[in-house]
Structure 1
Amino acid sequence: MATSMQDSSRLSIPNLPPELINEILLRLPVKSLLRLTCVSKSWLALISNHAFMKTHLRLSANKEDNSHHKLMLRHNHPKYPLKGCSFGSLLYESVTEASDLDCLVKNGHSLRIVGSVNGLICLSGGANELLLWNPAIGKYKKFPDYKPRLRSTIRCVTYGFGFDEFRDDYKVVGIFRFYEYDSLDHVEVGIYSLSSDSWRSKDAFPGEMRFVYPSKFLYGKVHWATTAGIISIDMADEKWGKIEQPSCVERGFTFKIGVLGNDLSVLCYDHTCADVWVMKEYGVKESWTRMYTIKFPIDVERYVLVRSFFMSNKGEILLVFGSTLMIYDPKGNSIKFAKVTNFGACNGSEIYLESLVCPMSKKEQNQSSIQ
């Protein structure tokens, strides 16, 4: 009997087929994968592989419980202006804890969340401070300064962040305004390419208008709400375009743009309610459809400025007001409030997906690993 037990203790666990290991790893969260890169060189090579990263990204984005999605919040704390919490917890748990995120921007008071694509967050600290950050893997890259052609002092700048799928390249669009004696002198447009790690000037600009943060990336284009309507720029051919607004905007409602599911969306709101419009066929004005009307409870009427809105994979809509996070469930036409600890008034927010995508050029990636 003793011999039999000794023999069984010497039995090794059979090796799993590589295909099965790959399928298991693809469904793990990023933090677990980072730890598993220490298991062996072969696992490190697999998890660092570009094809693995892309598949992991796709599977994470489509998880029904949004367990790989995070909400980043910008608030007024001088030392820790960024906080993060689980998007899934906001939706399905009674209380969610927000944790401090290391602020990589020196000028925290002027920090803006430009946008998020594939787990990468673009942050702006003003006219001359811009960086790309992946909070999940703890890596970031500071961009070189844009060098204006005619002026050395930038008085106003608007950024947009997107992805050029054809060239596998992340890009930032900068709209730089230069003023002289409080009057607009001229506008320059610069486009930063991560693959080349450089800025280049773009001459064409659709005209003077006020851009409203934040921008939204959809269908390969970066979109802004502006005083002249919804303006877009294609990340592949870098051409400007204009999207016709829904009729609610024409009636004078305040509006914000967003992405609900895979569609461009607009939230038109006043003090008491908000209409959610979705463009069912991109670029076709007649396809704007009012999907929901959300009536605000009386205790949030004072929060006139809706900072942002997001949709879960199950269809719930998160509305972010000052320090209030409200979740609307279209199926039951019901509203609940998400309770978040360690959190104050919000000055900006963004949903991002935890991913393995590295915020560096391929040349820089060859000099380091994801660890």
Structure 2
Amino acid sequence: MEKKRAAMMETAELRKKRAQEKVGVHIPGDIISEILLRLPARILGKFRCVSKSWLSITTNTVFVRANAQHNLITRPSLIIGDRQPYLASANAASVFPIRLQPMETMSENYFVMASCDGLVCARSLQDSQHFISNPLTGQSIALPLDNIYLTCKLGFYFHRSTSKYRLIRFKVPMTHESEVLVVGERSWRSIPVSIPAFFDCECPLELSGKLYWLAHTRRKIICKLPPDIIVIFDEEEEVYSAICPPPTKKLQKYLGGNLVNFNGELGLWVVGLNVTIDLWIMDTFWIKRYSVNYACIHKCPSPFKIKARSRPWILGGAISIRDEELLVHLSTIIAPHSLARWNLKSGACVLQHLVYKSSTFRSTFPYTETLTNPQ
């Protein structure tokens, strides 16, 4: 009996010792950081309570920024609609309202103006107060009220050398001056625009430390003219430059289009009357890399029928998902809201009909959930 009791005690001690050994396994901090870096922000936020070291890692500004960039590539989404916006995810077949958390004294009715690293800049429709909010964490910060134009083009970007987020704005329709605000400060700083133009897109494309706008050197009056200039703003040097889009003659049947970050390259996709959507890539000079016949949409499963000669698609924003795919927000009279996932190489298209009640859907912003603190 005593031998049996001693054996049981020994077994219990061995189990306890093994458990302690497992707990005591040391994993280097850099490996833990690499593992956490690859997690979705929504899950990552729950791990901050695990230990002080994990809290330190996940609240580090450099780590949060790296996680945001990783999620932009692996879990891209689109914010569709500037009022009552909805979130469309590339990795899920669902579209749901995105709720911003404005300041406590503000109305919940707001107008989305820009997005960057999971932060959304919006304007209250009640008192015109502007704010930046993180929809995932609920954190918000109010912006100064000194004459933020109701009719302005707004850019939102991360300034690498200072690790601060900044806004840049232009009064429309045409301006010779821009203003920059460092988020958290109270005043805007003026920067002359050396290339005055009429900006065509609602918000710029941010790529490799530069902002890109589709623009016109002359104002559109009746017909929809193709853009004849792309204005570039260097975020570090704070200077403007410009390049030409693809040759105008090749965009004669232009109906619409926008700039896109395609695998780290500057891209311009164009929809025309010739029943094609062309993707141009800037590689020293413009190259038409893909041309997709949007009649292929007719073969895609959808709850509505599209006539063969119906009005061509009017396209909203787009994001590059991976190698040769685009996620595009589409709209026509027949199909007001749709989300198309295009494989540009094969021409295959998966179309999802969106059902939501946004009063306006002209704007589309790239987005992904992050833990970025707006303050």
1:70 aligned to 72, 77, 85, which one?
Answer: 77
* Cα offset, 1:15, TM superposition: 3.4
Task: Verify the 8 A CA contact 2:169 2:178 in the aligned structure 1.
Answer: yes
**Counterpart amino acid of residue 324 in structure 1:** S
Out of 61, 82, 96, the position equivalent to 1:99 is 96
Provide Cα deviations, 1:112-161, integer angstroms capped at 9, x if missing partner.
34232x3333334579543323223332222112348xxxxx56322112
- Give 1:296's aligned residue: 294
Matches within 5 A, 1:329-348: 329-338=343-352, 340=354, 346-348=361-363
For 2:252, the equivalent position in structure 1 comes to 251
Q: Is the 8 A contact 1:326 1:338 kept in 2?
A: yes
Q: Distance in 1 between matches of 2:57 and 2:166?
A: 27
How many angstroms does 1:226 deviate by?
Answer: 1.4
- Cα-to-partner distance string for 1:272-294 (whole Å, 9 max, x where unaligned): 2211111123xxxxx10101112
Measured on the aligned residues, the alpha-carbon RMSD in Å equals 3.1
Is 1:27 the counterpart of 2:41 in the alignment? Answer: no
For the pair 1:165 / 2:160, whether they are aligned, the reply is yes
Query: 2:179 is aligned with what amino acid?
Result: G
Question: Is the 8 Å Cα contact of residues 253 and 272 (structure 2) preserved in structure 1?
Answer: no
Report the CA distance shift for 1:50/1:209 in structure 2 as closer, same or farther (over 3 A): closer
The one-letter code sitting in structure 2 at the alignment partner of 1:256 is N
- Where do 1:246-285 residues align within 5 Å? 246-247=246-247, 250-254=251-255, 255-271=257-273, 272-281=275-284
* Aligned position for 1:57: 68
2:204 maps to which residue?
215
Report what 1:232 is aligned to. 232
Alpha carbons 1:155, 1:177 under 8 Å: kept:
no
Residue 87 (str. 1) matches residue 94 (str. 2): no
2:366 alignment counterpart = 351
1:221 and 1:235 in contact (8 A); partners too:
yes
The one-letter code matched in structure 2 to 1:46 is I
Check conservation: 1:162, 1:217, Cα contact below 8 A. yes
Aligned: 1:123 with 2:122: yes
Mapped partners of 1:195, 1:155: distance in 2:
21
Q: Distance in 1 between matches of 2:316 and 2:43?
A: 33
TM-score (normalizing by structure 2)? 0.76
Residues 159/124 of structure 1: CA separation in 2 closer, same or farther (3 Å cut): farther
Following the alignment from structure 2 to structure 1, what is the Cα–Cα distance between the partners of residues 193 and 82? 35
Deviations along 1:148-206, one digit per CA (max 9) or x if unpaired, are: 8xxxxx5632211222222322221111259xxxxx9x765221112645312234453
Displacement of 1:306 after TM fit?
0.7
Letter of the structure 2 residue corresponding to residue 15 of structure 1: V
Q: Quick one: distance in 2 between partners of 1:339 and 1:4? A: 65
Structure 1 CA distance for aligned equivalents of residues 189 and 239 of structure 2? 15
* 8 Å Cα contact 2:72-2:367 kept in structure 1: no
In 1, Cα distance between equivalents of 2:330 and 2:311: 10
Length, aligned pairs only: 329
TM-score calculated relative to the size of structure 1: 0.77
Q: CA deviation at 1:315?
A: 2.0
Matched to 1:227, the amino acid is: H
Amino acid at match of 1:123: A
Letter in 2 for 1:244: C
Residues 1:15 and 2:25 aligned together: yes
Contact kept in structure 1, 2:263 and 2:323, CA below 8 Å = no
Q: How many Å apart are 1:252 and its aligned residue?
A: 5.0
SS of residue paired to 1:52: helix
In structure 2, C-alpha distance between the alignment counterparts of 1:109 and 1:303, rounded to whole Å: 33
Structure 1 unaligned regions, length at least 5:
90-95, 149-153, 179-183, 282-286, 361-371
**1:191 — aligned with what?**
180
Whole-angstrom distance in 2 between the partners of 1:155 and 1:139 = 24
